[in-house]
């Protein structure tokens, strides 16, 4: 059974700080990795995708992938109260579906 | 910016009734998906659809479920005889190809009473 694991949180950070969200996956053959943000009662909103080892930056967001350790993370710099949401890690193992983690709830304290 | 749309936003139905959830994927996307999320739980894959046929389905997607692309723009999920445990948010998603990002619609909240 392919699994994606995330700490459910909540992760609380002060406004302006860096939030670090982590995700591990079980299928070593996984090829593509995605971070989504989900506000309560809303649909997942794509933040970033990452396909190869290393870092990928987009504005305040940096995704990091380490396939050897089966680990993907998301850093949010200069966290804002509007970043408070649940962050979902999704993994595609080369099939026609994503496997989602349970999500990490982030609270940014003003 | 193109987006996935879904109707209705909320559907209430009685157990045993049939429901059809509708989606309009992003126009140049070729792969279509349905996911569901039971309240407080993770997003779960139901089915993917490509080239007018199901490409993959989960164990959840049993004989009570079906999907269809009735025309060039709509993509539907039918539940033939709803059960209480079908109550969930149902999300449609689409992507240009299998490896690319999937974009999600706003969801349909299905409540089975």
Q: What is the pLDDT of residues A28-74, one digit of tens each?
A: 989 999 999 999 999 999 999 999 999 999 999 999 999 999 999 99
Which positions of chain B have pLDDT values less than 70? none
Residues 17-56 of chain A with CB under 8 A from chain B are: 31-32, 34, 36, 42-46, 49, 51
Q: Which chain A residues in 74-103 lie under 8 Å from chain B, judged by CB atoms?
A: 88, 90, 92, 94-103
Q: What is the pLDDT of residue B98?
A: 83
pLDDT of residue B36: 98
pLDDT at A1 > cutoff 80: no
A vs B, Cβ pairs < 8 A, gives: 56
- In which residue are the tokens 């080892």 written? A53
**What is the C-alpha to C-alpha distance for residues A94 and A85, in angstroms, rounded to an integer?**
28
Comparing CB atoms, the residue among A31, A43, A97 nearest residue B45 is A97
Cβ neighbours of A32 in B, within 8 Å: 99
């Amino acid at each position: 059974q392919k699994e994606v694991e995330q700490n459910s949180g909540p992760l609380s950070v002060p406004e302006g700080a860096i939030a670090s969200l982590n995700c591990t996956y079980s299928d070593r053959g996984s090829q593509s990795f995605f971070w989504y943000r989900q506000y309560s009662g809303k649909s997942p909103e794509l933040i970033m995708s990452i396909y190869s080892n290393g870092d990928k930056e987009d504005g305040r967001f940096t995704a990091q992938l380490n396939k050897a350790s089966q680990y993907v993370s998301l850093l949010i710099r200069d966290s804002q109260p509007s970043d408070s949401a649940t962050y979902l890690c999704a993994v595609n193992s080369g099939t026609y579906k994503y496997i989602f983690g349970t999500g990490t709830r982030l609270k940014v304290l003003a | 910016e193109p987006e996935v749309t879904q109707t209705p936003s909320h559907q209430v139905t009685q157990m045993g009734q049939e429901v059809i959830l509708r989606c309009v994927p992003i126009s140049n996307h070729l792969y279509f998906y349905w996911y569901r999320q039971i309240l407080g739980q993770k997003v779960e894959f139901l089915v993917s659809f490509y080239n007018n046929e199901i490409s993959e389905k989960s164990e959840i997607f049993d004989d009570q479920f079906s999907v269809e692309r009735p025309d060039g723009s709509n993509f539907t999920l039918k539940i033939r005889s709803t059960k209480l445990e079908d109550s969930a948010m149902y999300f449609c998603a689409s992507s240009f190809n299998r490896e690319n990002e999937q974009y999600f619609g706003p969801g349909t909240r299905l409540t089975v009473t």
